[in-house]
Structure formats: structure tokens, C-alpha cells
Amino acid sequence: MIKPIRLLLLAIVFPCVLAGLNVLSSHPPGDVISFSNQPHNQYLAASQAAFTISIKPPLAKDLIPDLRPATSLWFQDPITIESLQAQLDLYSKADDVWNENFIESLFIVYDSQTQKNVDVQTETYAWLKSRGVIRVFLSSSIRRPSPDVIASYLISEKIPPGPFIITASESSPSKLQIHNVYKLCLDEYEAFLFGSIPDLVQGGWMPTNITSTLPSVEDGPETQLIPVPSRLSMLRSKDPLAGTRFGLKDIFDAQGLPTSAGSLAYARTHAIPNETAPSITKLLSLGANMVGKTRTSQFAHGAHPWEFVDVPYSWNPRGDGYLTASASSSGSACAIAGYEWLEFTVGSDTRGSVRKPAALTGVYGIRPSHGSLDLSGVVPLSEEMDTAGFFARHPHIFYEIATRWYIDSPVASKETFSRFPSKLLYPIDHFPVKSKNGQNLIDGFISTLTRHLGISVMHVNFTETLVPFFPNGTFPAFQKASNKLAEYRSWMDVGNPTTQEHLSRFGSYPIFDPIPQKMFARAKVITADDFAEAVTLKRAFSDAISQDIFKYDEESCSDSIFMYDTATGGIPSYRVEDFNHLAGATPFLLTAAGGDNPEAAASDFFNFIASMGELPEVTVPIGQVDYFSPLSRTWEPIPIAIQLVSRKGCDKMLLELVRRLADAGVVQPVQVGRSLF
């Protein structure tokens, strides 16, 4: 037996910090709980059990029927005070869900390949008891301690690492139910529609719809609390994305969750999906965890913040908090820019809906080559241009997710390249950007590219380069053809079916947001022949730029990379229309409904090139500059990002370029909140 004086010393050095567990409210997905010593941290204990295991001996009555916090630890080496402390330290550093309140009950799993059975010293159990552990559940390879040391039970299964909530019933004291637990994180930037957790009975997910008692930023629904799972699953999983969490744009189907595509009418006329989009199933198979649906503009049409009606616009965390985040994937962009508890968020890009928000929020983003992923189960905008992209803050995480998500792309180049392209196309009709300091950052980035990667800069008037491929040699005509692809498809595939179903069910026409209304009105006069002509033009453009601009190179995949800025060049543009008339502000250019402006310049809409050319494009944040905010009356940071475009199928080359620059410290992870760094 351990000497009493040693127990006393252990209690002094490691005082018990465990606190009572309080049930705050109950919901179909589970109970909201907190610990008395951390009342501001709330958790969701799932109502469905993740595991039901047999234990010996039967449970003591003090464990029935209350909720009890628990932690599962895994060992392959001897179980000692030192190894236990190391595990707890790792849990504390690696996970933002787990804390020491969860060690009241401890699962200890021994998983050695060389030793079948193991003894744990009495002193070690005494140390656990001094830390506040009341009972231990041991895998069958561990010998139970004497009952006077600590309450112990043998378990029939190996419980994965992490925090849990355990329950039992008086009718089955030899059975223990183990429930997943989620930390509830405030959606302060209103980037989400709702949170979700896995439905372990029916499959898919169930929406949580648990809201904060705090008032929302502006009139509207109460602020959501998003259930965040523990990252500790990564400790025993072989899945490459295990432990990562992501938010999903609400045009992707997820089994059990409503898809509204930003439209109340669409949600009313469409059943809850019973299948998950294949592109998202692929992420899940890689080990990623989806935590909820993010907001989108209606039907993914490009719309200004003040044109969001059915679903309010999200808040860009950068700068003074009133900057625009642009297009339809803005909810996903604001989420990744605002929340440390996310590793990435999924969006879609048709004509800039990942690229523009990524640049405006200062995060990494990608529009892959068109055709990289199966987009069934995704509300379409234009099948001829739609792609599934994503956002991330860390360049290496960005690289890992992209290379694994798009690994089976049928349009990716199968060749192995040995170097990067030799030419960087710098459009003199586009640069310099409006902010002098922003241009200085861009110039510095270009110098670094030439120094690290041996790329030569070619100054070109890119509008003149593109003119031969435009109908009638004009960009507005090219833009109009692109608009027809989106307007016709969106109306035929989404708008008209939703309208007819609404009429059938409710006897009235649905009310759409302003931009879809305009798009659908135009679509009604587009004929099938008009649409076919636009498709032919797009294919001809895609073929031409692959042959004449982004030429194939067997060593570098593409002979060139094109760069431009898709944001505001370091000048603030705001979510409130009137604010953009304030001194120092600028309106943000989106694809206006119609696109018939004879003054529209190609140099302002280079995002169309990848969309119509089916090209891959990445957004790379390279720094930030200060602007004086007329709202906060102080200097605020605004992101500067650069776009890199290359030949169709050369996605891996662009991703390798980002990784190489990250390895060299040229590009860096960005932080959440007001400032990138």
C-alpha cells in the first residue's frame, strides 16, 4: 500500500479540480450540460449512445441513472503515473473539447502487440484518485486493483480516445451506455444556419438548432451554438483527415438535414435528403467531421450582402467587422476566418464564389478544374461551370485536404511534373491595385516567386490576349454568354421546379430574393438554342486558351501561371450599401444580373477566365495592409491575397507551389478574427 504521507503530498500537488455536472436544458439531439467550475462552457451530451458495453461487476447504484463525465485513454507501453500524466497533457494540448472535469470516470485501454496482460501499480491508482478519478473501467488485459484502492470494472470493448458522457439504467446494471459529447461554440459571426451531429440510429445527421441566450448581432434568428466534436479521434484513427472539422455550404445534401439553398420556398417544397452528396461522403470517408450547414446566397447566385433576404448575410471577422465577404460561399468563408474550432469549410465556385470570399477574408481557397468531383446531390447553378471548393487557414492543411479530396479527379493530369512553370503572366491592364501598400506586398510576393521557384515574370495586357476568344471581340458579349449558362440552368433545374411545386402545394407563387428574381426573369426569354450557343462558345473558349495561353508542358504541366487580384486591392468595401459611398471605400464588383453593361472591362472580371475555361485557381493570402475605418474611427487591417490560375488538370502543380512556399515560410497560416497575423 502507498504510504498515507505520500497520498497527502499527491493531494496537495495535484488537487482535485473536478466539478459538478449540471443539466441546463434537454433537446431531441441531447442534453446541454455544463460544469459548475466552468459555467460559461456548455456541452451537448448526445441522446443516442455511441456504444453499449458490458461491464463486470455490475455498476454501483451511485452511477445510476445520472449523466457522468468520462475519458478514454489508450496505452501500448507500461501504465505509470508518468505515462498517464503525459496522456492527460496531450489531451489538454490537442483538444478544445476535453478538460479534466471529464476524468471522473476513466477508461483505460491497453493495446500492446507484445504483452497480453499488464499490472498497474497501486501507487498509480492512488495518484489517479488524488486527481479526482472516482472509478476506472479497464480493458480485460489489465488486472483489477483491490476495491479499497479505487472502484474498478472490466469492460468488454475498447472505447476510442476522447471525452464521453456515460449512463446506465437500474434494469441493466451490467450495461454501460457511452455517449458522444460536443462542445457548444457560439456562432458569433452568424455563418451557420444550424449545427448538426451524427444520427447513429437512422444514419446521416440530425440538426441541433440549439441557440444562445445572447442576442444576435441584428434582428433575426437567435445565434446558433454549434456542436464541435473532440479532435482526439485522430490519436487512434488511420484516416488522413481524422480530427478535422468542417462546415458545409447549404447547397450540398447531407442525409437527414434540410437543404434550403438560401431559400425558404425551396426548403418548403423539397424533402429532407435521404442521401449525402458523393463529394461530401468522400470527405467523411477520409475522417473529416461535419459540424453544420453554413449560409449561402439564394441558389448560389452572386448577390451583395444587402440583397440577402430569406437568410441574413454572415459577418466578415476582418477589419472593422463591416467588410463584405462577397459571394455565395461567404458563410463558409466567414466561418473559417472566425472560428479556431474549424479546420476547413466547404463552398462551391461557379464564377467566383470561393475565390472572392477567400480573398476578402484572407484565407486559402480553391476552385478546382471543372469536373474534378461528382456534383450530384448539390443544388446546381450552372453545370457547365459549377465546382466544389473549400477554404482553410493553414497552407499545409489546405494542401492535405485538396490533394486527398481531388485525388480521383478524372480531369487531373496524370503526369509527374519536375518543375514549376517558367512564366508568370502579370496583367498590366489589371495591376497595380488601388492600395500602394497592397501593391508593395504583391511586388514582394512576385520577387519571392522568382527567387524561390525560378519563375520569370511576363508583363502582358491580358485583355488584349483574350480579345480574339471573345464573341465579337468584346468582353460584355462574353460575359453575357456566361450569364446565359447560369440563368438558363438555374431556372430550368431549380427556379421553375420550385415555382411549380410551390403553386401545386400552396396555390401561390414563391417569393425569391432580388437577384434570383432578376436572373429567372431573364432566363424565361432564353431559348434552348440560345443556351446551346452559349455552351458552344464556352467549349470553344476552353479549348482555345488551353491551346494558345496555358499550353501543356511535360515538365511543369502548364507553361504558365496567371495572377490577379479578385478582391478590392486593399480598399475597404462594406456589407451596407451606403457605407460604400464613405470616404476611402469602394463598391465591390459582382456579376450583375444581365451583364449587359457595355463598359464592363475584362480586367475587372478575370474570375470569368477559370469559370469559362474550366481552369484550376487558388487564392493565396500574402499579407494585410491598414485602412482608416470611418466606422471604427481607427486604423484597421484588410487582407491582401493573390489569385494563381493555370491549365486545366494542373491542380496538383498549383497545390505543390503553395506547399513549397509554405515550407519556405513565404506564405503562412492565418489567424481568426480581426487580423490575419
pLDDT in tens, 45-61: 999 999 999 999 988 77
Structural domains of the chain, with CATH: 16-180 (3.50.30), 242-676 (3.90.1300.10)
Confidence label for 172 from pLDDT (cuts 50, 70 and 90): confident
Calculate mean pLDDT across residues 113-125.
84
How large is the average pLDDT for residues 80-103?
A: 96
Question: Percentage of the chain surpassing pLDDT 90?
Answer: 86
Cell 509527374 belongs to residue: 416
| Predicted confidence (pLDDT) at residue 446 exceeds the cutoff of 90 | yes
pLDDT over 80 at 593, yes or no: no
pLDDT tier at 597 (50, 70, 90 boundaries)? low
How far is the CA of 377 from the CAs of 192, 253, 273, 333, 609, in angstroms?
20, 5, 9, 21, 26
- In the block, cell 493565396 appears at 620
Tell me which of 188 and 146 has the higher pLDDT. 188
Q: How many CA atoms lie within 13 A of 524 on its CB side?
A: 8
Enumerate long-range contacts of 586-593, CB under 8 Å, 24 or more apart. 586/434, 588/304, 588/324, 588/326, 588/360, 590/302, 590/303, 590/304, 590/326, 590/327, 591/302, 591/351, 591/352, 591/479, 591/482, 591/483, 593/483, 593/515, 593/518, 593/519, 593/522
SS3 of residue 384 by DSSP: coil
pLDDT interval class at 387 (50, 70, 90): very high
CA distances to 194, 267, 611 from 211, in Å: 9, 20, 38
Identify the band that residue 11 occupies on the pLDDT scale cut at 50, 70 and 90.
very low
Q: How far apart are CA 442 and CA 437, in angstroms?
A: 9
Backbone angles phi, psi at 669, to 5 degrees: -65, 150
Q: Which of 170-174, 318-322, 604-608 has the weakest average pLDDT? A: 170-174
Sign of CA dihedral 44, 239, 293, 247: positive
Instruction: Round to whole Å and give the CA distance between 261 and 273.
Output: 13
Judged against a pLDDT cut of 80, whether residue 111 lies above it is answered with: yes
Question: Which pLDDT tens digit goes with each residue over 255-314?
Answer: 999 999 999 999 999 999 999 999 999 999 999 999 999 999 999 999 999 999 999 999
Banded pLDDT at 170 (limits 50, 70, 90): confident
User: Which pLDDT does position 320 carry in this prediction?
Assistant: 97
Residue 207 phi/psi, 5-degree rounding, is -70, 145
Tell me 97's DSSP state. S
Instruction: Measure the CA–CA gap between 371 and 618, rounded to whole angstroms.
Output: 16
Question: What are the residue ranges of helices labelled H in 415-513?
Answer: 436-453, 462-466, 475-490, 496-506
The pairing of strands 68-75 and 105-110 is parallel
Per-residue pLDDT for 189 more than 70? yes
Which phi and psi (to 5°) does residue 404 adopt?
A: -90, -35
pLDDT digits (tens, 9 = 90+) for 620-666: 999 999 999 999 999 999 999 999 999 999 999 999 999 999 999 99
